Each structure stands twice: as C-alpha cells, then as structure tokens.
Amino acid sequence: MSIHNETLKNYDFLRVMYGDGYFPDFLVDRIKEILVHLCEEIEKKNPQSTEALLILTHSATKKINALEEEFEENDCELETEARESIGADFEFIVRCYGFAEIDIEDVIEPREW
C-alpha cells in the first residue's frame, strides 16, 4: 500500500533529522517507515473519532519508543531535536487527515522520547 493523500505523498518526513549527521540515516529511515505506515493505516481504517485515531498514533509512538535502545547503541538518542521533528511530523499527519483540533500531546502521549 502507499499513501494516497496528495499532501503527504510528497511530504519530506523527518527532514531535520536527515539533515543532522548525529542521527544515523538507517535509524531515521525506520522512524520514517513507521510514520508512512501510520498514514497508510489512517487511510485504510479511516478513523471517524479522536479515540480511533489515537489507537493508531499511540501504536506508532510505541514502535518509535522501541527504537530508543538502537539509537543509544549507535551513540545517539531521541533528544530535543528528534522529539521536535517527530512530533511535528505526527502533527502534520493528523492535520492532513482532518483532525485539526486534536492536541499533539494526546497524539504522542505514550512517547518515551
């Protein structure tokens, strides 16, 4: 499956993280895959409520949490710049799918980064 939303289809996910040599591209790629999969899941399941959307975003957030140890093994961590980049992409995604009023902190609530 691929993203059908025209805005997200051409979106430059995690641009800041890719531009910073501190973050290994192969790990940033893994986060990008999670975010792209989130978009695909939103399109497939078409959540009609905030609660239904949060099930999807929380699942994606937990998958990113699981990468934290791998980042540390590669002498980096999901610190401020990464948190802001990932959070901004989550926010952009949910806004593109029509959830304009949702609080981004609710969207990524289970985050450990």
Residue-wise pLDDT tens digits, 31-65:
999 999 999 999 999 999 999 999 999 999 999 99
Q: Does residue 73 form part of some domain?
A: yes
CA distances from 52 to 17, 20, 41, 45, 96 (A): 29, 34, 11, 9, 16
Does the predicted model carry a pTM greater than 0.75? yes
Q: Does residue 15 form part of some domain?
A: yes
Query: In what helix (H) or strand (E) does residue 70 lie, and over which residues does it extend?
Result: helix 68-73
- Residue 1: is its pLDDT beyond 80? no
The total of structural domains in the chain comes to 1
Q: Does residue 1 form part of some domain?
A: no
Buried b / exposed e across 78-93, counting CB within 10 Å, b at 16+? Answer: beeebeebbbebbbbb
Averaged pLDDT of the chain:
97
Q: Does residue 113 form part of some domain?
A: no
Q: Does residue 103 form part of some domain?
A: yes
106-110: average pLDDT: 98
Residue 33: which domain range? 6-107
Q: Does residue 12 form part of some domain?
A: yes
Q: Does residue 112 form part of some domain?
A: no
